[in-house]
Amino acid sequence: MKIITLVVIILLACNCHAKNKIVLAAEDSWPPFSRSDGEGISQQTILQAYQLVGVEVEFVVVPYARALHMAKMGEADGAFNVTKQQSTIAQFSFGEEPLLQAKASFYYPSTSHLDFTSINEAPDSLVIALILGYEYGESYEMNRSRFKEIRVSNQIQIINLMLKNRVDMAIMFDDVAEFYLSKMQVPTTILKKGQVNHISDIYVAFNNKPEIQPLIDKLDLGLRLMRSVEQP
């Protein structure tokens, strides 16, 4: 604990003239991690980590695909709730510390007889509902060309597509699916939950401008400091 605190003091002293404000694009439809106003578990984690290392954070709330575009084009310094995988590493810079971990599963209409152990078992031409811009793991990326994707902007649209039997299945993060089913005041059994597709470490994805690197390092440091305090 004392060592980490000393590192923080040294880092701040050495970077007193460096940029100490960051603008992050927050998605608006991934509760409880990021609600319609951008607030949620992810935002609170980022705020706490950066506060520990003296960085002010400004959030711009937009749909997820727009958040990624803003980060990529430099309209924001970064976007969060991003999975670090081959497709995102090619476009963004990442720190070493994830914000959190989230589990995603296969979901089917309640009358469906489908039940795959992995996406590798899914037949060609399967119609899958997904969120615009979301990443669904390396295995899905390797198979996605075999499927017909229907990409929408929010989770309620995905649920409604399944309720109307417009798609064969969807991939949803479990906490998010539970949140929306509760919000819609429908039983969880209205959908059939299948096997786990993937468990993702969730990160902030930063643009590739060299001057962003000190802010990436500071987030890593802040997250490590938070977790050292949380440990018994």
How does pLDDT run across 49-105, given as a tens digit for each residue?
999 999 999 999 999 999 999 999 999 999 999 999 899 999 999 999 999 999 999
Predicted pLDDT of residue 17: 41
Q: What is the 3-state secondary structure (H, E, C) of the chain?
A: CHHHHHHHHHHHHHCCCCCCEEEEEEECCECCCECCCCCCHHHHHHHHHHHHCCCEEEEEEECHHHHHHHHHHCCCCEEEEEECCHHHHCCCEECCCCCEEEEEEEEEECCCCCCCCCHHHCCCCCEEEEECCCCCCHHHHHHHHHCEEEEECCHHHHHHHHHCCCCCEEEEEHHHHHHHHHHCCCCHHHEEEEEEEEEEEEEEEECCCHHHHHHHHHHHHHHHHHHHHHCC
User: For the chain, what are the domain ranges?
Assistant: 2-100+201-230, 102-200
pLDDT bracket for residue 10 (50, 70, 90):
very low
Q: Assess if CATH 3.40.50.720 describes domain 102-200.
A: no
Two domains, one topology: 2-100+201-230 and 102-200: yes
Name the CATH superfamily housing domain 2-100+201-230: Periplasmic binding protein-like II (3.40.190.10)
Give the predicted TM-score (pTM) of the model: 0.81
